């Protein structure tokens, strides 16, 4: 391993401290930022995410309530919940946990959220502002990655950046934020030809595809900065032994929990080529929740005209 490991958990802790300070300042003015989370159905991963978001809010002094709705809720009923939160002057942020159970269309409901309370930055108004280079609420994962790159002293102006993945929540906003910082950005996806060759041009490579360890050393220019967004549960003990040779802790996790979390990047092999790399877990994941807290406080300030 020659690459410098970029410590997302440490940067996230700094952001959370900053947010907690802002929350204290708001409390002096009688303001408690408030985030309302909507969880539809009982998807286990979504429940875990919602639980950790709620805990993080409480730790930072942000009031957070979760509306747990039945998986078979009607579209009209869900619309009424969102509209009620839009109209509630005490609510600063609204988070609709995705994915929604079928046949509900997540996009249609995100479009209903008041853009001023859209702390995930998924409303078309906020997406448009982001792509104009004047972000309002930047989506939490890419915004956190920008903080990590800055904390790591990674030069972006004029750099070649390749974003692997074009989702609305990671790939596209990531590319927009890098472009706004004057990187030369290429976005790749499942139809990209010569994928490894395109990625090898990157000074900064962001992988967000949801394919465990697909990004091998062949995708990476020596010295490049590699950001691994992927969170994949891998239960194949032989694969884990191949990806993390001699890593007893990983092997034990698979034996005890039944899986270990693996990113989209082959961490050990790429770590021997890259200049810097994020681990999974402990890289991008903690930054996402920190970004959510920061956006909630931002919403609370903006709605009250506080700078
Ligand atoms: P999506 O499934 O929405 O998007 C995946 C993207 O990767 C698509 O653009 C797809 O291309 C592309 N892709 C998939 N397979 C390949 C392939 N073989 N070659 C090239 N491109 C491919 O995923 P998300 O963006 O939501 O998430 C990506 C990963 O990041 C997941 O592992 C997810 O769990 C993780 N994640 C982590 C977060 C964190 O906090 N750390 C937050 C959010 C996500 P196409 O568009 O052509 O289909």
208 CA to middle of ligand 1, Å?
4
> 276 with 167, same domain?
yes
Helix (H, G, I), strand (E, B) or coil at 112: coil
* pLDDT at site 1: 77
Per cent of the chain over pLDDT 70 is 100
> 273 with 202, same domain?
yes
231 CA to middle of ligand 1, Å?
9
* pLDDT at site 56: 94
Task: Specify the ligand 1 atom closest to the Cα of 264.
Answer: 32
Any idea what the CATH number is for the domain that residue 274 is in? 3.40.50.720
Burial class (CB in 10 A: 0-12, 13-18, 19+), 151: middle
> 266 with 198, same domain?
yes
Mean pLDDT of 51-70: 95
Any idea what the CATH number is for the domain that residue 47 is in? 3.40.50.10860
Q: Is-contact 284 261, C-beta < 8 A?
A: no
> Count of domains in the chain?
2
Distance, in Å, from the CA atom of 138 to the CA atom of 31, rounded to the nearest integer, reads: 23
Q: Which residues are catalytic?
A: 53, 97, 120
* pLDDT at site 268: 97
| 125 occurs within a structural domain | no
* pLDDT bucket at 271, cuts 50 / 70 / 90: very high
pTM to 2 decimal places: 0.96
Mean pLDDT of 70-89: 97
Domain range for 256 is: 140-287
> 282 with 150, same domain?
yes
Ligand 1 pocket, Cβ-based, cut-off 6 angstroms: 141, 165-167, 169-171, 189-191, 195, 208-211, 229-232, 284-285, 288
Mutate to test the pocket of ligand 1, among 139, 209, 213, 282 (most ligand atoms within 8 A of CB): 209
């Amino acid at each position: 391993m020659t690459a410098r490991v970029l410590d997302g958990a440490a940067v996230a802790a700094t952001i959370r401290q900053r947010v907690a300070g802002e929350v204290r300042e708001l409390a002096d003015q009688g303001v408690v930022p408030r985030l309302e989370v909507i969880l539809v159905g009982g998807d286990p991963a979504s429940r875990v995410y919602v639980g950790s978001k709620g805990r993080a809010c409480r730790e930072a002094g942000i009031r957070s309530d979760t509306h747990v709705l039945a998986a078979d809720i009607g579209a009209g009923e869900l619309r009424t919940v969102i509209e009620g939160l839009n109209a509630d002057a005490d609510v600063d942020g609204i988070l609709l946990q995705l994915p929604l159970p079928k046949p509900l269309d997540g996009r249609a409901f995100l479009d209903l959220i008041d853009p001023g309370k859209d702390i995930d930055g998924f409303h078309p108004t906020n997406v448009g502002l982001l792509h104009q280079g004047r972000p309002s609420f930047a989506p939490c994962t890419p915004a956190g990655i920008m903080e990590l790159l800055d904390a790591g002293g990674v030069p972006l102006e004029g750099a070649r950046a390749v974003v692997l993945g074009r989702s609305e929540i990671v790939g596209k906003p990531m590319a927009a934020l890098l472009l706004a910082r004057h990187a030369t950005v290429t976005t790749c996806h499942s139809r990209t030809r010569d994928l490894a060759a395109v990625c090898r041009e990157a000074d900064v490579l962001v992988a967000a595809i949801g394919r465990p360890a697909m990004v091998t050393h062949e995708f990476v220019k020596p010295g490049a900065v590699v950001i691994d967004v992927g969170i994949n549960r891998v239960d194949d003990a032989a694969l884990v032994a191949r990806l993390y040779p001699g890593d007893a802790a990983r092997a034990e996790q698979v034996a005890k929990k039944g899986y270990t979390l693996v990113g989209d990047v082959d961490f050990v092999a790429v770590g021997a080529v890259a200049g810097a790399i994020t681990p999974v877990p402990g890289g991008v994941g903690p930054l996402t929740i920190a970004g959510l807290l920061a956006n909630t406080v931002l919403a609370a300030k903006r709605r009250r005209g506080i700078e």
